[in-house]
Amino acid sequence: MQSKDSSTPISDESVHMQLLQRALKKTTGKCVSSFKFSLFRRQLEPIYKKAPKTLEKLHEGAVSELASNIEEELSVMFEEENIEEFMAKLDEMKAQADEITEDITAWRPSGDPAEDISAHTQPIYRQHLQQLQKVFDQLQSQNTLLQRNLNKQHAKLTQSRSAMIEHLDTWRKANCLTAEDRQEVEEFVKNL
């Protein structure tokens, strides 16, 4: 940036850079204008009494020096931080955003909160559904495994029952069991 009186070189392609430079120029102007002569005079009262014109010249020089130092510091900062490049990129991004959104109308609420929030809640519901599906699949595989084990146990029981009935028939044929023993064994086999 150059001094307050001369025009600041502004890049034609960067609108945001122009806005930034105008804002900084205005801020610098306010900062420099706050350095009033009355404040200067109060702080340097003995000099003012002896040479008021000299103090006025000193004030003008200090104000001018302050303005040029601020503008020089801003200029160095702009160069070191590549502010112009960032502002040009910002202008490009804004132009791209404007191109994208020209044909798109802005979203407005429909008046139904449930409908308006559904786009935000759908991913959460999908995630819960996936978790529930995993739990369901695990339970289904456990059920299948338990059903197989139950079928094996049922088959073993059926075999045992058949074997016991055969043994009971063998004992009946041999007539070795008493009537009471036969009844107890038959009751036991029925309860299986």
Confidence band for 2, pLDDT divided at 50, 70 and 90: very low
Q: What is the pLDDT of residue 45?
A: 85
Domain coordinates in residue numbering, the chain: 15-101, 127-191
Tokens matching residue 14: 């960067």
Q: What is the mean pLDDT of the chain?
A: 82
CA distance 76 to 83: 10
CB atoms closer than 10 angstroms to residue 1? 21
Confidence band for 1, pLDDT divided at 50, 70 and 90: very low
pLDDT over 50 (residue 4): no
Which are the contacts of 67, defined by CB distance < 8 A and separation ≥ 6? Answer: 3, 4, 28, 32
Q: What is the pLDDT of residue 176?
A: 62
Confidence band for 142, pLDDT divided at 50, 70 and 90: very high
pLDDT tens digits, 34-80: 888 888 788 888 888 888 888 888 888 988 998 999 999 998 998 88
Handedness of CA 12, 30, 70, 90 (dihedral sign): negative
pLDDT tens digits, 80-128: 888 888 888 888 888 887 777 666 777 778 888 888 888 888 899 999 9
Please report, rounded to a whole number, the percentage of residues in the chain having pLDDT higher than 90: 23
Smallest Cα–Cα separation from 77: which of 21, 27, 7, 33?
21
Cβ atoms 63, 32 nearer than 8 A = yes
Q: What is the pLDDT of residue 5?
A: 40
Cβ atoms 1, 75 nearer than 8 A = yes
Confidence band for 144, pLDDT divided at 50, 70 and 90: very high
- Amino acid letter for position 21: Q
The mean per-residue pLDDT over the stretch 26-32 comes to 89
Smallest Cα–Cα separation from 67: which of 24, 38, 37?
24
| Alpha-carbon separation of residue 184 from 141, 147, 165, 178, 190 (angstroms) | 41, 32, 13, 10, 10
Higher pLDDT: 131 or 162? It is: 131
pLDDT over 80 (residue 170): no
- Amino acid letter for position 74: L
Q: What is the pLDDT of residue 141?
A: 95
Please report, rounded to a whole number, the percentage of residues in the chain having pLDDT higher than 70: 86
pLDDT over 50 (residue 165): yes
Buried b or exposed e, range 67-93, using 16+ CB within 10 angstroms: beebbeebeeebeeeebbeebbeebee
CA distance 30 to 167: 114
Tokens matching residue 22: 């105008």
CA distance 82 to 9: 16
